[in-house]
Amino acid sequence: MDEAQLKSELQKYFGYSAFKEGQLEPIRSVLAGKHTLATLPTGTGKSLIYQLSGYLLKGIVVIVSPLLSLMEDQVAQLKYMGEKRTASLNSMLQFEERQRLLSNLDRIKFLFLSPEMLQNQVVMNKLKQIPLALFVVDEAHCISQWGLDFRSDYLFLGAARKELGNPLTLALTATATPAVMADIIGSLHIDGNDLNVFEGAVDRANIYYKVAAVPPEAKNEYLLELLGKYPHPGIIYFSSKAQADAVAFMIRKKTDLRAESYHADRTNEDRITIQHQFLRDELDVICATSAFGMGINKPNIRYVIHYHMPNSLEEYVQEIGRAGRDGQQSMAVLLYSETDFDFKVKMLQSDFPNDYAIESAVKNKAINPDYGSPTEQTLLLHILRQRLTKEEAKRFISTRRDLKRNLLKSMKGFAETSDCKREYISAYFGKSCLVKPVYCCDSCGNEDPLSEGPRDAGNAVPTEGPPHWGKILSDLFLL
């Protein structure tokens, strides 16, 4: 199909007259039968790529998604648009519900499931019995051991693809360095001769970057100052669930703002209620851990504040990308203390199993269910699934620890740089910062643009930038 025909189909199925930047070419690639990797900024409509492609292809579209809440949101959005042939296959379904869904897969157009579900042979056998139009890996950076998140079941998606007959595949993510993109392609066992890579800009011109040097004991006072002058709604991210609760309580007590906390210790019912209240503008501020935000489609978030330093620039860019989806001027503020890095490194140590736990798991070919954090359990499970020797397992853990520490170092570098922060982020992701908005970052000498309310984010000016890696990576896999 040419562009005019695709716009006609876009109008027919979604009521839009034009594509957002970065959507059209991946769709054309998929419809041409090419495996496709697309990295597009948060908020630019990645889901429409597989939705429109799915309508134009025969067969079921299988979407692998990392979070139950994200799957449920996407199913709800499709049903809201009138698409009833959609469902989420997850561990929350009762046995009877799951069996009913599996028995009627031929009536489903969009099936969302977790990577763990593809480890279920019953599910795989059912999928092999129906025409598969498209295999979609959402949040594809989760595949990569270098990436933002580590989910061991993502590492087996390549084997699942092979068992399903290597179907046409679309991998989507908002953030990926060249190394992460190479890892995604390799892990999925995609033939480079049938692959197209599309990279959108990491930069969001309407987001102003600010790093405030604030000692830990002064963060609450400084935060209240920001909340007193910024328009709402907004999100404040924390590394600590207890801190998120405490600050939400403080905001309610000391201001007239409607604030709530959101994290994994809240009940599922609470999380759903809080998310819906935020989407309906019934809350002004969400104090959250990284558990909140993926898939949140709220256009008018004016600011994202990080109370603690994120674990990586990937995580940071993902989270600040939830601001300003309406194109209006928005803020990304990091409250940074010189002690943050050391604190994060100490936290990092608790994410990795010690030598005794590694040796015990390898020797017994089993994991003590009472041992360690969920992250430690995940890593030990990966070691067993890969059948690593004791020495291989220790090297794997050591390498993984070093990688995580290097991600923290890059985040620390961003927080402490006196150079342009927009250029720093672009260079990290191997991209060129081709434009600089008038309101760029605090390193560029701009005043805080939100003190007087939201503004139009236009007036970008050209600038020089580092070399573009998209063509290099694409050429590499087309050899």
Q: Which of 199, 230, 260 is the last residue of a domain?
A: 199
Rg over CA atoms, the chain: 22
The per-residue pLDDT for 177 is 84
Give the structural domain span for 218.
207-341+408-466
Tell me if 114 sits within 8 A of 66, measured CB to CB: yes
Pair 214, 174 in one domain: no
The per-residue pLDDT for 409 is 95
Indicate the number of domains in the chain: 2
User: Per-residue confidence of the chain (479 residues) as pLDDT tens digits?
Assistant: 889 999 999 999 999 999 988 899 999 999 999 999 999 877 678 899 999 999 999 999 999 988 777 788 788 889 888 899 999 998 778 888 889 999 999 899 999 998 889 989 999 999 999 999 999 999 888 887 666 566 677 888 999 999 999 999 999 988 788 888 888 999 999 987 889 999 877 888 899 999 999 999 999 999 999 999 999 999 999 999 999 999 999 999 999 999 999 998 998 889 889 988 999 999 999 999 987 876 677 889 999 999 999 999 988 998 998 999 888 999 999 999 989 999 899 888 888 999 999 999 999 999 888 888 778 888 888 889 889 999 999 999 999 899 899 999 999 999 999 999 999 999 998 887 767 898 999 999 777 888 755 444 444 444 333 344 443 343 444 33
CATH of the domain at 211: 3.40.50.300
Pair 113, 243 in one domain: no
Pair 219, 121 in one domain: no
| Amino acid at site 271 | R
Pair 86, 222 in one domain: no
Pair 145, 285 in one domain: no
Tokens of residue 243, six digits: 């801190």
Measure the CA–CA gap between 261 and 242, rounded to whole angstroms.
Answer: 9
Q: Which of 160, 179, 199 is the last residue of a domain?
A: 199
Measure the CA–CA gap between 380 and 393, rounded to whole angstroms.
Answer: 9
Pair 27, 138 in one domain: yes
Pair 144, 237 in one domain: no
Pair 75, 172 in one domain: yes
169: phi then psi, degrees, rounded to nearest 5: -125, 140
Confirm whether 476 is domain-assigned: no
Pair 235, 147 in one domain: no
Confirm whether 472 is domain-assigned: no
Confirm whether 350 is domain-assigned: no
Whether a cis peptide bond, with omega within 30° of 0, leads into 233 is yes
Confirm whether 479 is domain-assigned: no
| Amino acid at site 300 | N
Pair 162, 243 in one domain: no
* Look-up of token digits 């084997």: 159
pTM: 0.83
Confirm whether 359 is domain-assigned: no
Q: Which of 199, 226, 241 is the last residue of a domain?
A: 199
Confirm whether 212 is domain-assigned: yes
Tell me if 457 sits within 8 A of 327, measured CB to CB: yes
